Structure 1
Amino acid sequence: MAIIVNKEEKRRAIALASKSLLLEHGIKNITISKIAECAGVGKGTIYEYFRNKEDIVFEIISVFIAEHEKWLHALIREDISTKEKIKRFLSQLYSDADYEKQLSIYREFLAISLTSNVDEMRDFSRACRERFQIILDQIVDEAILMGEIKAESKEMFGMLHTYSLGLVVESKVNEIDAKVHIDQFVETLFTIIEKKDIR
């Protein structure tokens, strides 16, 4: 009797097995052979599930994003102020060594995306942005409903993703302490948008 393999589950399993390889060596320094070895499959098997190395990288980054989204959904439910939620939303990637490694991979992914003009990479980045914006909108909508922030400030939160992308680059290039920068930015933002009767 033939064994039925769920293709999506197998793709995910290969990506999960290769996650540490990517974090250790970066996108440019991994090969299909190394991925196959790390995942415990033959090189030919990799090509049954992925078109190329970039396809595997997308899948691994998707795993990181899914983990991060899970954390963000938990953040929405926390009993803390909206200001604190926004600070945590922006600063999670700078919170520990594991996230710093993921951030390094994300920087490399951005650099490749910007220089390669590959539509797939841009589409992937756009889709990720939309997923995070949905979570951010939930936080903001609840804050408006609860009367914590001014309703007209909602448009400003669409710019937070642009700010966070800029900080990903600036924190590396100019060695900015991202957590300090985020605290200052959010404190300033909330002096403008917070309803004054909220303490």
Structure 2
Amino acid sequence: MAIIVNKEEKRSNIACSCKEILLEHGIKNLTISQIAKTAGVGKGTIYEYFKNKEDIVFEIITMFISEHEKKLFEITDQNISTKDKLFHFFYMIHEDENSNKQLNIYREFLAISMTNGTQEMVDFNIKCRGKFTDILGQIVKEGITKGEIHTEAQDMVSALLTFKLGLVVETHTAALDPKDEITRFLDALFKLIEIKEEK
């Protein structure tokens, strides 16, 4: 009797087993041979489940994003202020060693995308941006509903995400302290969007 293999599950298992070597070697230095060895399969098997190395990298980055999303949803469910939720949204990727390793992979992905990226990379980036826009939009919408911030803040969701992505680059290239930058940004922003109690 033939063994039925769940292709999506096998694909996910291969990518999952390679998360650490991606963090260790980076995108450019990662090879199909390393991936196959780490996953405990032959190189030919890798190509049964992935088109190329980039496809595996996309799958692993998607796993990192899913982990990040889960943490963000935990924050959005907390009973804290909108300003605090936004702080966590911006800072979470900088807060510990594992997050910093993932951040370095994302920086490398951005660098490759900007210098010799493919349409596939652009499409992947748009998909990722959509996920974070949704979470950020949810935080802002809830802040409006709770009467903490003005309705017009909804129009700033895309710009807020652009700040987060710019911070990913600037904290690396200009050696900025993410916590200080986020705090200054949110203090200035909330002077504009926060609903002040009337005295």
TM tier relative to shorter chain? over 0.9
What root-mean-square deviation, in Å, do the aligned CA atoms of Structure 1 and Structure 2 show?
1.0
* Identical pairs, percent: 57
Matching residue of 1:10: 10
1:93-132 aligned at under 5 Å gives the runs 93-132=93-132
Matching residue of 1:171: 171
Matching residue of 2:72: 72
Helix, strand or coil at the partner of 2:68:
helix
Could you tell me how far 1:51 is from its partner in structure 2?
A: 0.7
Letter in 2 for 1:19: K
Could you tell me how far 1:117 is from its partner in structure 2?
A: 3.4
Matching residue of 2:187: 187
1:86 matched to 2:86? The reply is yes
Deviation track 1:149-184 (CA, whole Å, cap 9, x = no partner) reads 000121122201111111111111110011111111
Give the alignment's TM-score, normalised by structure 1. 0.97
Give the alignment's TM-score, normalised by structure 2. 0.97
- Tell me the number of residue pairs that the alignment of Structure 1 and Structure 2 aligns: 198
Deviation track 1:55-110 (CA, whole Å, cap 9, x = no partner) reads 00000000001111111111110011000000000000100000000000000000
Matching residue of 2:21: 21
Contact 2:136 2:161 in 1 (8 A): no
Letter in 2 for 1:114: M
Contact 2:93 2:100 in 1 (8 A): yes
CA distance, structure 1, for counterparts of residue 93 and residue 139 of structure 2: 18
Query: Can you give the 5+ residue segments of structure 2 that lack an aligned partner in the other structure?
Result: none
CA distance, structure 2, for counterparts of residue 165 and residue 7 of structure 1: 33
CA distance, structure 1, for counterparts of residue 7 and residue 156 of structure 2: 41
Letter in 1 for 2:168: V
